[in-house]
Amino acid sequence: TNCLTTLWRLFKHLSDDQQRYEKQLIFEHPAFPRVCQQLLQNSRRMTRGDLVFSLHALVSLGVPQNTLLVQTLVRVCQEKLNYLDNRCLSVLATTLSGMDKDKNVSALQAGLQLLVEQRIPSVKDIFILQNLMKCMGKDAPVFLKKKLEMAVLKEINHLTLLNALRVFLALVAMNYCSIPILNACSKKIQENVHDVSFRHLILVLEGCNTLQYRNVKLFSVLADYVNSTACLWDKRQITLFLSAFETLGFQPSELMESFAEKVTKDPEFFNLKNFFIILQVYSRLNYVPRGQQHLFFETLDSCLNKYLPQITSTELLKAVYSLCILGYLPHRALDELLQKDSKGELILSGDTSKEQKEVMLHCVKTCMELDSPSFTKPAFVLTETFSSSVAFNLTKAQKALIELLGDEDMFQQNVQLPYKYHIDFEIRMDSDRKKVLPVAATDVHADSSVQRLAFLFVPTSAFCVGTTHPQGKLAMKMRHLNKLGYHVILVPNKKFQEMTNENAVEFLKGKIYSED
């Protein structure tokens, strides 16, 4: 056992190439079969520690699972399962989590799960608890996850940073979102952020996304830390941080500002992969650098032009789409995109679905028209009402508007505009925003003095996390509605639904008659 565990300790720190070479040397060494034969002969007489550590070392070294030796050790572990202490259970759980499911492994896993359930109240070691959580995995029954959660909560006040990271990642492995544990781990990580490695910072952010855990304070602390220590990270690492934040829908504005400056000063660091990540991050999170907007866009445009000969039609569409969302038209790339579209090369190529590409292409063509410097606000916009009924989640808003304005004729609902844009409610007012005008009266003729208000009731996911800053597609829609002559009023629908009816009426009144 000592021989095998020492081999494994040395082996696990090697690179992949070194591991392949050393593994071949180990298996071909004349002493290795003798060690294995000795294990096989003495398996039933071994101590519980030697038994589970030997199995763990053999599996980790890559000894095939279907060998007589591994299957025998699994069977002996089944026989001695009730005699294993908590530490041995933890090691066995780790070993089984890395093995394929066969008849013996599944039987041992089932027995282990029952034993863990019985033993949980006696386990006080947070390291063992988090390891059991990780090894039980996402397929563990909910009641077992709950028991493990309660056991960890009893020891939560004794968390070290290392254990906080381990427990956090164990919850991710179980796919179990325990808010009390996550909050405690997050607090410990925030307090010791300078001691957290790059790898663990990325794993924490990815784990937050897996568990749908949105802790704005944690995100802000991590973003501020990365920004304040930017000189210690290379641009590739910062790109990965930005990508992780983008996946969460969180906008680290100061980090994005300073990184944009690095991009404009040294665009040569971009490889193609990083270029597409940056385009997606800035467009989805709707961030345009302050004071260097034009230079930033020109730098991205120049990089895109450099990559034009080597990117696919789908990649070209995605790149142009991202820049268009930000309100920038990359003319050379647009010309090439439209040529490919006219030849029919665009929709049928690549792995992105035809529907997705059609939506992106429509968006690009809309931006070409509405964001063009030559576009002028139309005197009259042709609208169409889809239906007199509204979606269930808008009935509260409809009733509040009727109570506020006195009549359904004072607003339109389910309004369809050109360019496939949709408005939940439209209200028309005089030029001073003092008086609401009947819809029918203002439909008769175009009047530039009439103010058009477009109410958009949007889900929380349309904003950057923890803010009311609109994400890219919503920001583009607002920009285009402004170009069409509308004053856009965003209403976070979740917050609105939580209001009392009286507060909802007052809220809409404040929005309609606001001087801003």
CA distance 472 to 460: 14
Q: What percent of the chain has pLDDT over 70?
A: 95
CA distance 413 to 422: 10
Angle of helix 103-119 versus helix 126-136 axis, rounded to 10: 140
pLDDT (tens digit per residue) in 409-418: 889 998 999 9
- Which helix or strand (DSSP H or E) is residue 453 part of? strand 451-458
Secondary structure E strands in 132-265: none
Question: According to the model, what pLDDT value does residue 348 have?
Answer: 66
pLDDT (tens digit per residue) in 178-222: 999 999 999 999 999 999 999 999 999 999 999 999 999 999 999
Q: What single-letter amino acid sits at 79?
A: E
| CA-to-CA dists, residue 477 to 250, 286, 291, 325, 423, angstroms | 20, 12, 23, 9, 10
Question: According to the model, what pLDDT value does residue 351 have?
Answer: 65
In the 8-state DSSP scheme, what is residue 85? -
Residue 149, exposed/middle/buried by CB under 10 A (0-12, 13-18, 19+)? middle
CA distance 364 to 326: 11
CA-based nearest residue to 129, from 96, 171, 161: 171
Instruction: Write down the domain spans for the chain.
Output: 1-122, 392-513
Instruction: Using the structure block, give the residue that is written with the tokens 């003092």.
Output: 434
CA-based nearest residue to 427, from 452, 449, 400: 452
Band (447; pLDDT cuts 50, 70, 90): low
Among 235-249, 398-412, 471-485, which is the least confidently predicted range? 398-412
The answer to whether the CB of 231 falls within 8 A of the CB of 192 is no
Average confidence score pLDDT of the chain:
90
| CA-to-CA dists, residue 217 to 21, 98, 244, angstroms | 46, 35, 16
pTM for this one? 0.86
Question: According to the model, what pLDDT value does residue 445 have?
Answer: 56
Among 316-330, 421-435, 473-487, which is the least confidently predicted range? 421-435
Among 67-81, 294-308, 373-387, which is the least confidently predicted range? 373-387
Tokens representing 202 are 């990325």
